[in-house]
Amino acid sequence: MAAPDLRAEVDSLLLQLLQDLEELEAKRAALNSRVEEGWFSLSKARYAMGAKSVGPLQYASRMEPQVCVYISEAQDGLQKFWLVRPSAQTPEEVGPREAALRRRKGLTGTPEPESFPALQDPLNWFGILVPHSLRQAQASFREGLQLAADMASLQIRIDWGRSQLRGLQEKLKQLEPESA
């Protein structure tokens, strides 16, 4: 491959990398905000309901996840994180044309279509009528969750991009050992 083509590829990779980094930083800031807001809303809920009414004492004895993480792997080895509801059994709904699908966090490893009980909203652990602040807290944390998955995907893409970049720069060096 000619050096100019390689250089062009290096440039575009670098640009993509910088873009991804910028996006990652933005998402990180957003995640921090969501988490802060979530905890603040929880404090407001505690003010309204009583500090002991919003805490570990209210946890259900049997907890079921509302969200599971799927990792999909593309042909070039690039992995991506997806958030799905546990009842989404069929991998086709999850991600487009992936080679392999692996379940990371979920109820059990078995893929048989058992009928799951209707998903319990954890908000109900705290009562039937909960103050608005508690709902806001849940919404903030949910958004944060999506951001976390996006950030994980971005970080993998950045690492992959960096290794690609290194590879290309090696090739360049071999082609033009005298260039600065």
Partner 1 sequence: IDFFPENFYFNVDHGYLEGLVQGCKAGLLTQQDYINLVQCETLEDVKIHLQTTDYGNFLDNQTNPLTVSKTDTEMRKKLCREFEYFRNHSLEPLSTVFTYMTYMIDNVILLMNGALQKKSVKEILVKCHPLGRFTEMEAANIAETPSDLFNAVQVETPLAPFFQDCMSENTLDELNIELLRSKLHEPYLEAVYEFCKNHGDVTAEIMCPILEFEADRRAFIITLNSFLYPEGLRLLAQAEDSDQMRRAADHDGVYKPLFGAVGGGSGGKTLEDVFCEREVHMNVLAFNRQFHYGVFYAYTKLKEQEMRNSVWIAACISQRHRTNINYTILNHIPY
> Which parts of this chain interact with partner 1 (CB under 8 A)?
36, 39-40, 43, 46-48, 50-52, 55, 57, 60-61, 124, 127-132, 135
In the complex, minimum distance from the CB of residue 66 to partner 1, in angstroms, rounded to a whole number: 18
Q: Residue 2 or 129: which CB sits closer to partner 1? A: 129
Q: Round to whole Å and give the CA distance between 130 and 4.
A: 63
Helix spans in the chain (H): 3-49, 91-94, 132-175
Q: What single-letter amino acid sits at 87?
A: S
In the complex, minimum distance from the CB of residue 14 to partner 1, in angstroms, rounded to a whole number: 37
Q: Residue 82 or 125: which CB sits closer to partner 1? A: 125
Rounded alpha-carbon distances, angstroms, from residue 113 to 90, 98, 110, 169: 10, 21, 9, 49
Q: Residue 28 or 46: which CB sits closer to partner 1? A: 46
In the complex, minimum distance from the CB of residue 120 to partner 1, in angstroms, rounded to a whole number: 10
In the complex, minimum distance from the CB of residue 138 to partner 1, in angstroms, rounded to a whole number: 12
Q: Round to whole Å and give the CA distance between 12 and 43.
A: 47
Q: Residue 59 or 116: which CB sits closer to partner 1? A: 59
Whether the Cβ atoms of residue 116 and residue 87 lie closer than 8 Å to each other: yes
* Residue 45, number of CB atoms within 10 A of its CB: 23
Whether the Cβ atoms of residue 81 and residue 68 lie closer than 8 Å to each other: no
In the complex, minimum distance from the CB of residue 114 to partner 1, in angstroms, rounded to a whole number: 22
Q: Residue 132 or 173: which CB sits closer to partner 1? A: 132
